[in-house]
Chains A and B, each alone.
Chain A
Amino acid sequence: SSELTQDPAVSVALGQTVRITCQGDNLRSYYASWYRQRPGQAPVLVIYGKNNRPSGIPDRFSGSSSGDKASLTITGAQAEDEADYYCNFRDSSRNHVFGTGTKVTVL
Chain B
Amino acid sequence: QVQLVQSESELKKPGASVKVSCKASGYIFSSYAINWVRQAPGQGLEWMGWINTKTGNPTYDQGFTGRFVFSLDTSVSTAYLQISSLKAEDTAVYYCAKLGNDGLTDDCWGQGTQVTVSS
A100 touches B44 (CB 8 A): yes
A42 touches B95 (CB 8 A): yes
B102 touches A49 (CB 8 A): yes
Across the interface, name the chain A residue whose C-beta is closest to B61: A95
A86 touches B47 (CB 8 A): no
Instruction: Flag B95-117 by CB within 8 Å of A: 1 or 0 each.
Output: 10100101111110111100000
* B70 within 8 Å of A (CB atoms): no
Residues on the B chain within 8 Å of A31, using CB: 104
Q: Could you count the A-B residue pairs with CB atoms below 8 Å apart for me: how many are there?
A: 60
Interface residues in B38-96 (C-beta closer than 8 Å to A) = 44-47, 50, 59, 61, 95
Q: Name the one of A88, A95, A99, A100 contacting B105, with C-beta atoms under 8 angstroms.
A: A88
Q: Name the one of B47, B105, B112 contacting A48, with C-beta atoms under 8 angstroms.
A: B105
B35 touches A96 (CB 8 A): yes
Residues on the B chain within 8 Å of A98, using CB: 37, 44-47
Residues on the A chain within 8 Å of B109, using CB: 42-44
A35 touches B47 (CB 8 A): no
B102 touches A101 (CB 8 A): no
B102 touches A42 (CB 8 A): no
A48 touches B45 (CB 8 A): no
* A45 within 8 Å of B (CB atoms): yes
Least CB distance from A47 to B in Å reads 9
- Separation of A87 and B102 alpha carbons in the complex (Å): 16
Least CB distance from B64 to A in Å reads 12
Question: Known contacts A42-B109, A44-B109: does B50 contact A94 (CB below 8 Å)?
Answer: yes
B59 touches A35 (CB 8 A): no
* A12 within 8 Å of B (CB atoms): no
- Separation of A49 and B104 alpha carbons in the complex (Å): 9
- Separation of A48 and B103 alpha carbons in the complex (Å): 11
A90 touches B45 (CB 8 A): no
Question: Known contacts A94-B50, A96-B35: does B44 contact A48 (CB below 8 Å)?
Answer: no
